[in-house]
Structure 1
Amino acid sequence: MLSAKSLFQEILDNDESFRLFCSIAASGESQGGWENARIAALVPESARDLAPKITRHGADEDKHGRIFNALLKKRGLRPVPVPPETDYTMLLEKSGIGLAHDKLKGDEPLTVADIVTYLAHSRVTEQRASEQMDLLRKHFADHPDIGRAVRMISHDEDNHLAYCHEELLRLARAGHGRAIQATLRSCALAEIRVYRDVSLAVMDHMGRVLGWSRARAGVLAAGIHAVYAWERLAGWRRMVSLEMPERRDALGGPATGAPEFA
């Protein structure tokens, strides 16, 4: 039976597919850590209270990257280069979503509009991350090798999503509501397209590593296209709604370490 659990179990059981999975995940998390660190450094004076939370966000992402690399090391594996077509973070930037890296590499302070863009982009991508980790937690929370990592990362991603909701609502009350909704919508529609393309690319690479038949690869590709069709029709709306989270001030303290992994 083809299910999310059986699919990931197959990836987990094979060293080469597991190495590719962790390498892609570690690269994306590390890139997110760099982006948040640069945004924290460039926050405008009018939003300086956000800087510690953005720093915490980036520290969490860095921690996740270390965790995925530590999982590789635990199995005696080394990271592999990430195929460009599977690089979710960079493909989002190329689609014009989020803050351009050229801007983040400079010294010019960001504007409040830039902060709106950053938070809207994060709200959309953290929705995806939270859902993916929730799925892994559902099936692998008690796994002897990856269970602890899955639980820790899932908890962090839920915190990141709560933080985005709370800060965007605060900015909406300050008069940025229309800009927030417009940015959220454009981010969500771009993200679901990039996610589809990356998912197809990742499954193509995994299929070659694991020797999937053309029929099985076709079924998985059809499933990815079906998810995209649903998201394009209505599913994207879950990424643009805002509500006050149960977890308030989710990034208000220092980042937690992961000495058991890193």
Structure 2
Amino acid sequence: MLSARSLFQEILDHDESFRLFCSIAAGGEAQGGWENSRIAALVPPGERELAPRIARHGADEDKHGRIFNALMKKRGLEPVEVPPDTDYTMLLERHGIGLAHDRLKDDRPLTVQDIVTYLAHSRVTEQRASEQMELLRRHFADDPDIGRAVRMISADEDNHLAYCHEELLRFAYAGHGRAIQRTLRECALAEIRVYRDVSLAVMNHMGRILDWPKAKSAVLAAGIHALYAYERLVGWRRMVSLTMPERRGALNGPPTTAPEFA
């Protein structure tokens, strides 16, 4: 029977597919770490109190990248080059979502609108990350090899999502509500397209590595297209709603460390 658990288990059990999975994840987390560190350095003067939380977000992303690299090292594997069609972060940038890297390489301070754009982009992508890690946590939280990493990263992603909700609501109360809703919708609709394309690309690469029969690949592709159709119709709305999280100040304080991995 084809299930999320059996699919992930197959990928995790094979060295080459596991190496590709971890390399893609590590690359995305490292890119997110760089982006957040640059944004923290360029926060406009009137929002400097936000800088430590953005830096904490970036430090968490860097930690996740180290964890994925450590999981590979534990199995004697080296990272592989991430195929361009699986590079979620860079594909989002090419679709104009978030802050362009050229802007982040500039030393000019960001504007408040730039910060709102960053937070809206993060709210959408952290929704996806939180859901993906929740799926892995549900099936692999007790796995002796990856369980601890899954639990740690999942908890961090939940904190990141809570932080985005709280900060966006703060900006909404300050008069940026209309811009926030417009940016959230644009980000969500672009993200679901990129996620579909990346998912299809990852499945194609995994299929070649694991020698999946055409019927299996076709079923998986149909499932990805069905998910996109649902998200395009109504599912994107979960990415644009804002509610005050139960846990306030989720990114206050220093980042947690992971010495057992890195």
AA aligned opposite 2:153: I
The C-alpha deviation readout for 1:181-224, integer Å capped at 9, x for no partner, is 00000000000000000000000000000000011000000000
Corresponding residue of 1:64: 64
- Which runs of structure 2 are paired with 1:229-244 in the superposition (5 Å)? 229-244=229-244
CA drift at 1:28:
0.1
Corresponding residue of 1:31: 31
AA aligned opposite 1:70: A
1:215 aligns with 2:215: yes
CA drift at 1:251:
0.1
The C-alpha deviation readout for 1:34-79, integer Å capped at 9, x for no partner, is 0000000000001101000000000000000000000000000000
Which ranges of structure 2 fall in alignment gaps of 5 or more residues? Answer: none
Percent of paired sites with the same residue = 83
- Which runs of structure 2 are paired with 1:181-260 in the superposition (5 Å)? 181-260=181-260
- Which runs of structure 2 are paired with 1:70-219 in the superposition (5 Å)? 70-219=70-219
CA drift at 1:139:
0.2
How many residues are matched? 262
AA aligned opposite 1:63: K
SS across alignment from 1:231: helix
The C-alpha deviation readout for 1:116-170, integer Å capped at 9, x for no partner, is 0000000000000000000000000000000000000000000000000000000
Q: Distance in 2 between matches of 1:75 and 1:96?
A: 37
Q: Distance in 2 between matches of 1:206 and 1:49?
A: 43
CA drift at 1:247:
1.2
Runs of at least 4 residues off by over 2 Å: none
SS across alignment from 2:82: coil
AA aligned opposite 1:18: F
TM-score of the superposition, structure 2-length normalised? 1.00
Corresponding residue of 1:55: 55
Corresponding residue of 2:19: 19
Q: Distance in 1 between matches of 2:3 and 2:163?
A: 32
AA aligned opposite 1:149: A
> What is the root-mean-square deviation of aligned Cα atoms in Å?
0.2
AA aligned opposite 1:246: E
Q: Distance in 1 between matches of 2:189 and 2:178?
A: 17
Q: Distance in 1 between matches of 2:36 and 2:185?
A: 22
